Amino acid sequence: MDYEGVIDTLMTNNVHASALAVGGLLAILIAILYVKDRDSAKYKLFMIIGLIFGVFMAFVAFNTYGTLFIATSVIMVIAAFTLIIRPFKEVHFAVLIALMAMGIIYLLLGGLEGTKLEILSQGWYRVGLAFFCGSMVYMMLHMVESVVKMVGKILNAWPILLILGTVCVVEAIMVFTGNGSVYDLITSAANE
């Protein structure tokens, strides 16, 4: 099946609306379980299910973008991001990726032996340059990581997660019934 076939399958089977409904219900359930007992195995299980389903929602949102109402796409992307980021509150990706970058740079500098830049492939020059490159990667990624975590923290507050889940379910109902989008509903009510 080609790319156009995937999009046609997603659109004709209302996968986008189903993904919105299930993602919204998962967000509501995760918010309720968080308030009840955030240390329970059930909460952690649904958080992992939300992560997996969030990846699926992001796939659907990006592959059906332009064929849906813009509000539907935006709601789907926000919900997918919220479900994906939730389990990663305490993981520091910047450190992990910076360490990998340091190792890769260290290995690549070893390949300079026998060239005009051979000095960089030996001793402390090699270690220092690898450390410098790793620290640059860390600085940039730490900034990005901090912004993503801040937005994720706001979206994952349980009242906002509950509201987001409800909006997803209402949006799915609007799409299933062919009545446009929640955005259309709000703007038409504001204009009356």
Alpha helices in the chain (DSSP H): 3-12, 15-36, 41-63, 70-85, 93-110, 123-155, 158-177, 182-191
Return the pLDDT at 63.
80
Q: In the structure encoding, which two tokens stand for residue 125, read together? A: 């020059």
Q: Report how far apart the first and last C-alpha atoms of the chain are (Å, whole number).
A: 46
Return the pLDDT at 1.
57
Contact 182, 171 (CB under 8 A): yes
Q: In the structure encoding, which two tokens stand for residue 164, read together? A: 């987001």
Quote the CA–CA distance of 56 and 59 in Å, as a whole number: 5
Q: Which of 82, 61, 80, 84 is nearest to 72 (CA)?
A: 61
Tens digit of each residue's pLDDT, the chain (192 residues): 566 776 677 666 778 888 899 999 999 999 999 999 888 899 999 999 999 999 999 888 888 777 777 888 888 989 998 898 888 877 788 888 999 999 998 888 888 787 888 777 788 888 899 999 999 999 999 999 889 888 888 888 888 989 999 999 988 888 888 777 777 777 777 777
